[in-house]
Amino acid sequence: MAALYAGMSYEEVVCAYSSTVAGVCMMRLQNYPDAEDCFQNTFVRLLTKSPSFNDENHLKAWLIKVAINECYNFIKKNRRSLSLEDLPVEPSYQNDDEMDVSWALMKVRPDYREILYLYYVEKYRVKEIAGILDKNPNTIKVMLKRGREMLKSIYGGDGR
């Protein structure tokens, strides 16, 4: 019998949360092959650890936290940093707005990028982000404010 994760099979979890985990990994590493490795490691960890979850929100938060930790471990292990300019292929975007936001997020410092991504793309609340990242909610609020300011300076406007 297949293990269930918050009432979902492993395959259902991968289908449901692959874009979330991939987004977290890409926002942190800015390199597709490295992000792919951390993405795979995240789901391997789920399969090998078989943790129990209260609900789907708990499962999603666990996957995001593991993905972030996988990225941190990868960076520590490899001690190298590649930017988007180093990538040989232009990333593909579904529309101009997605490209614009992704481009701007990639220009923000990684610690702020993760918080902005979780808040605006994954729609987590400040308290939830604080729980995922093991930070004080007030720290998350300050980092969101500073991250927004960084995005304004990247766009060169008032953010509207």
pLDDT in the model for residue 155:
73
| Residue 23 domain boundaries | 1-91
What Cα–Cα distance (Å) separates residue 52 from each residue in 11, 15, 22, 122? 16, 19, 22, 22
Are 3 and 74 found together in one domain?
yes
Are 45 and 7 found together in one domain?
yes
Q: How confident is the model at residue 157 (pLDDT cuts 50, 70, 90)?
A: low
Are 78 and 140 found together in one domain?
no
Are 20 and 79 found together in one domain?
yes
pLDDT in the model for residue 159:
45
Lowest mean pLDDT among 9-13, 51-55, 79-83, 95-99: 95-99
Are 66 and 2 found together in one domain?
yes
Domain end marker among 91, 119, 150: 91
Share above pLDDT 70 across residues of the chain, in percent, rounded to a whole number: 81
Domain end marker among 59, 91, 123: 91
Are 1 and 78 found together in one domain?
yes
101-119 mean pLDDT: 83
pLDDT at 88 exceeding the cut of 60: no
Are 12 and 67 found together in one domain?
yes
Lowest mean pLDDT among 57-71, 82-96, 98-112: 82-96
What Cα–Cα distance (Å) separates residue 147 from each residue in 39, 83, 111, 135, 153? 25, 19, 9, 16, 10
Angle at 115 between CA 111 and CA 90, to 5 degrees: 75
Are 109 and 86 found together in one domain?
no
CATH code: domain of residue 153:
1.10.10.10
Are 16 and 62 found together in one domain?
yes
